[in-house]
Structure 1
Amino acid sequence: MRYLLLILVAFACTVPAEKFGSHGDEITPKSAISIDEFLAQVSEEENSFKVRGTIEEVCQMKGCWMTLRNDQGANVRVTFKDYGFFVPKDISGSEVIIEGIASEEVLDEDVARHYAEDGGKEYDESMRNTITFVAKGVLVKES
Structure 2
Amino acid sequence: MPYSISDLAKEFDVTPRAIRFYEEQGLLNPERRGQTRIYSPSDRVRLKLILRGKRLGFTLEESRTLFELYDPSSGNRRQLETMLETIDRHRTHLAQQLHDIQVMMLELDEAETRCARALEAAGSAENNKNIASTEG
- Greater fraction helix: 2
Higher relative contact order (CA 8 A, sep 6+): 1
* TM over 0.5, shorter chain: no
Larger radius of gyration: 2
Please give the range of the TM-score, normalised by the shorter of the 2 chains: under 0.3
- TM-score normalised by the chain length of structure 2: 0.28
- TM-score normalised by the chain length of structure 1: 0.27
- Greater fraction strand: 1
